[in-house]
Structure 1
Amino acid sequence: MQKNNITKTLLYVCIVFIIIICDVITKIWIINHFNLYEKKKIFYFLNFLYIKNYGSALGLISNYEEWQSYLLSIVNLCIIIKIIKLIHTAILNKTYKNNILYCLILGGAISNVLNRIYFGYIIDFIDIDIKKLHCPTFNIADTSIFLGICILILRSIK
């Protein structure tokens, strides 16, 4: 591997770890400072609300059954492997265009799967409520995944 490829790889690993660390630290803070379902207003539209998400993104399939946790973990691990392959191929082909976006998705996916493996659920706490618009509760990892996917979609449209 050339020096430039090693440098790029280290950058990508750092991005992934920064996302994981930020997500883990915020989730630990929520666990230590909030009771389950406790809600605190941060700004007029932003609340912190500690919930356990047994489903997937945006609370989909959240009617908890133990097999769902295993299935979602397997799906997440497959996605993680696919994204690692995409990044590796891009490094080898020197096509770095989307790698930072892949790292955003990868960091979020790894952090959430670690949550699911350790707890059996995902800790969510960011709650946005603007008048009649109320988003499902999410976390830093979800935000990272969402941003990475949205920018990839926007790039593919152009």
Structure 2
Amino acid sequence: MAEPGKDTRYRVVLGVGVGALVLDQLTKLWVMASLPYYGAVTVIPGFFDLVNIRNRGAAFGFLNRSDIEWQFWLFFAATLVSAGVIFMLARSAQRGEKMLFWGLGMVLGGAVGNLVDRIRFRAVVDFLDFYVGQWHWPAFNVADIAICCGALLVCLSMWLKGPSGRAS
């Protein structure tokens, strides 16, 4: 078995993950420097605002409550378990499965990006607010985009392999 630093599978996952993490953290720093807490700037009237809010919960505001502390530890543990699963999937995959490795890296980078926020602020910085009229999609960030797009790539990669485990 190859060592993590010498195996291209791990290098792709880590490289993409670090890229997603850096992009996520830079965009959050920019938003926090540009907007006051709970501030908003309309980018496309009636559709898109940049905001500066905190989410103590998970994706789309799940468990976003200030009166419970255990959700921090739940999401902290979930991130560590996810990272372990990501490296197990990378280790068991064939070296040529680039789509899978990119997807795993995106999920890893997004998860770690949100974990950095949880450690720093006990909440995740969200700033992308899409809406139509009074209907708002819950605000999100670059880490959330990386997680969702990465998960889509992982699923697509597995679907393309088919039940035989070989690319169709």
TMscore range, shorter length:
0.7 to 0.9
Structure 2 residues without counterparts, runs of 5 or longer? 161-168
Q: Which residue in the other structure is 2:125 paired with?
A: 123
Alignment of 1:76-155 (within 5 A): 76-90=79-93, 93-94=94-95, 96=97, 97-131=99-133, 133-155=135-157
Aligned: 1:74 with 2:77: yes
| TM-score, reference length from structure 2 | 0.81
CA separation of 1:155 and 1:11: change in aligned 2, threshold 3 A? closer
Task: Determine the C-alpha separation between the residues in 1 that align with 2:159 and 2:133.
Answer: 31
Worse overlay, 129-138 or 107-116: 129-138
Kindly report the root-mean-square deviation, in angstroms, between the aligned alpha carbons of the 2 structures. Answer: 2.1
**How far 1:122 moved relative to its partner?**
0.5
CA separation of 1:155 and 1:7: change in aligned 2, threshold 3 A? closer
Task: Determine the C-alpha separation between the residues in 2 that align with 1:9 and 1:73.
Answer: 22
| TM-score, reference length from structure 1 | 0.86
Structure 1 residues without counterparts, runs of 5 or longer? none
Task: Determine the C-alpha separation between the residues in 1 that align with 2:120 and 2:158.
Answer: 35
Worse overlay, 31-40 or 5-14: 5-14
CA separation of 1:154 and 1:14: change in aligned 2, threshold 3 A? closer
Task: Determine the C-alpha separation between the residues in 2 that align with 1:18 and 1:157.
Answer: 26
CA separation of 1:154 and 1:132: change in aligned 2, threshold 3 A? farther
**How far 1:95 moved relative to its partner?**
5.3
**How far 1:154 moved relative to its partner?**
4.5
- Give the share of equivalent positions with the same residue, in percent: 26
**8 Å Cα contact 1:125/1:139 also seen in 2:** yes
Task: Determine the C-alpha separation between the residues in 2 that align with 1:53 and 1:24.
Answer: 15
- The one-letter code sitting in structure 2 at the alignment partner of 1:50 is N
**How far 1:40 moved relative to its partner?**
0.5
SS in 2 for 1:125: strand
SS in 2 for 1:129: strand
**8 Å Cα contact 1:77/1:113 also seen in 2:** no
